[in-house]
């Protein structure tokens, strides 16, 4: 048996794939433009092949990987059970060689379990949570520490900060995450700098909502942030709101630390149970030069594990992609720099010592 790794083009599906993969599954594989996530076919062939693509195809899987992450996703697999087993192990070996620490499986698995465990289902929420109900994960490194909550996808384009803040609070307090669209938008209204949530205002809103938590803001600039696209009066009134947020932080005793947060220090704090919201630039991971909040929910090997509240079904993503997403420290260091000068913003959340 030979294993082949081939690029996948949804407009030019090889004949053997059409023979092996059920029509409904193939429709799902081809129904989204997965090109941004390096889609590949992993094929088991029987018999000798001189061309590298000949022989009898006995199993095939479709795999993707979001850029600059340490995760590989199996979109699906089909074929003979023993051949599928060989394909899955080849995918795992290739993932390890590429530096990935995690293998996910979206949808019902075929073949044997291969060390996969079910992921907790998402809460009813935004795009990507309603059509793909099952996700499994296999960690490829032994040292994994997680402080998860059920996945919740933001229901608006601007409420990533609200989702990550409320999820972090639930993780730190140990409470169940009971979040819906109304609660999400209501908290966004408390925290927003119109339309984004800047770090100090987000920290103030979280501290007011959860006085039992100790909140720290890390922001290595004293200039107004996330306003690069604005000027004149549109910039000025939002800058005034940010100055008011700093006054409110001082009144509430929220530290605003100006020293740049080091990612290894962040990883250590998250591993120990600190809730962390991190402002990132989406250019590397999504090709979009936009600010975005993610929640750091654990560590795996030398990666920080995130919950990204935004996934795009048009790109073939579901909640499985956004939940428990590992990113290497070097990649996350590059992502966690936004705007002029590449400032870094984060909100850290801990239990108060007397609570």
Give the Cβ contact number of residue 298 at 10 Å. Answer: 21
User: 2 φ, ψ to 5°?
Assistant: -115, 150
pLDDT of residue 124: 94
- Asked if 214 contacts 351 with a C-beta cutoff of 8 angstroms, the reply is yes
Q: What angle do the packed helices 181-191 and 199-209 form, to 10 degrees? A: 120
The helix (H) or strand (E) run that includes residue 290 is none
- Asked if 130 contacts 97 with a C-beta cutoff of 8 angstroms, the reply is no
- Domain finish residue from 62, 93, 115: 115
pLDDT of residue 143: 97
pLDDT of residue 31: 95
Distance separating alpha carbons of residues 8 and 212, to the nearest angstrom? 51
Residue 128 domain-assigned (yes or no):
no
pLDDT of residue 132: 59
The CATH number covering residue 165 comes to 3.90.70.10
pLDDT of residue 51: 45
* Residue 265 sits in the same domain as residue 318: yes
Residue 142 domain-assigned (yes or no):
no
* Residue 72 sits in the same domain as residue 211: no
Residue 131 domain-assigned (yes or no):
no
> Taking Cα atoms as reference points, which of 254, 237, 238 lies closest to residue 200?
254
Q: Which residue range forms the structural domain that includes residue 52?
A: 2-115
- Domain finish residue from 80, 115, 150: 115
* Residue 108 sits in the same domain as residue 165: no
* Residue 165 sits in the same domain as residue 264: yes
* Residue 198 sits in the same domain as residue 298: yes
Per-run averaged pLDDT (10 residues), the chain, 355 residues: 96 96 95 97 80 77 98 96 95 98 87 84 93 85 97 98 98 96 98 97 98 98 95 97 98 98 97 98 96 98 98 96 98 96 97 76
Q: What total of structural domains would you count in the chain?
A: 2
pLDDT of residue 133: 66
């Amino acid at each position: 048996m030979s294993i082949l790794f081939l690029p996948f083009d949804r407009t030019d599906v090889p004949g053997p794939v059409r023979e092996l993969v059920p029509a409904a599954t193939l429709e799902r594989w081809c129904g989204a433009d997965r090109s941004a996530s390096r889609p590949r076919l992993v094929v088991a062939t029987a018999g000798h092949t001189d061309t590298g693509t000949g022989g009898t195809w006995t199993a095939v899987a479709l795999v993707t990987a979001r850029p600059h992450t340490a995760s590989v996703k199996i979109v699906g697999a089909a074929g003979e059970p023993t051949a599928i087993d060989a394909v899955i192990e080849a995918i795992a070996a290739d993932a390890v060689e590429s530096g990935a620490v995690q293998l996910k499986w979206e949808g019902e698995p075929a073949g044997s379990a291969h060390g996969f465990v079910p992921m907790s289902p998402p809460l009813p929420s935004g795009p990507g949570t309603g059509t793909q109900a099952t996700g499994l994960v296999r960690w490829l490194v032994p040292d994994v520490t997680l402080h998860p909550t059920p996945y919740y996808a933001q229901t608006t384009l601007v409420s990533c900060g609200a989702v990550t803040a409320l999820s972090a609070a639930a993780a730190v307090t140990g409470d169940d995450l009971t979040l819906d669209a109304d609660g999400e938008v209501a908290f966004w209204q408390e925290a927003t700098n119109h339309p984004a949530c800047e770090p100090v205002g987000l920290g103030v809103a979280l501290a007011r909502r959860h006085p039992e938590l100790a909140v720290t803001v890390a922001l290595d600039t004293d200039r107004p942030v996330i306003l690069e696209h604005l000027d004149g009066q549109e910039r000025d009134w939002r800058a005034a709101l940010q100055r008011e947020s700093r006054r409110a932080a001082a009144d509430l005793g929220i530290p605003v630390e100006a020293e740049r947060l080091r990612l290894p220090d962040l990883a250590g704090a998250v591993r120990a149970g600190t809730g962390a919201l991190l402002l990132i630039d989406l250019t590397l991971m999504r090709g979009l030069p936009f600010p975005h909040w993610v929640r750091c929910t654990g560590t795996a090997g030398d990666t920080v594990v995130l919950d990204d509240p935004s996934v795009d079904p048009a790109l073939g993503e579901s909640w499985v992609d956004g939940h428990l997403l590992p990113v290497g420290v070097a990649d996350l260091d590059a992502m966690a720099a936004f705007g002029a000068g590449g400032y870094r913003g984060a909100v850290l959340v801990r239990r108060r010592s007397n609570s």
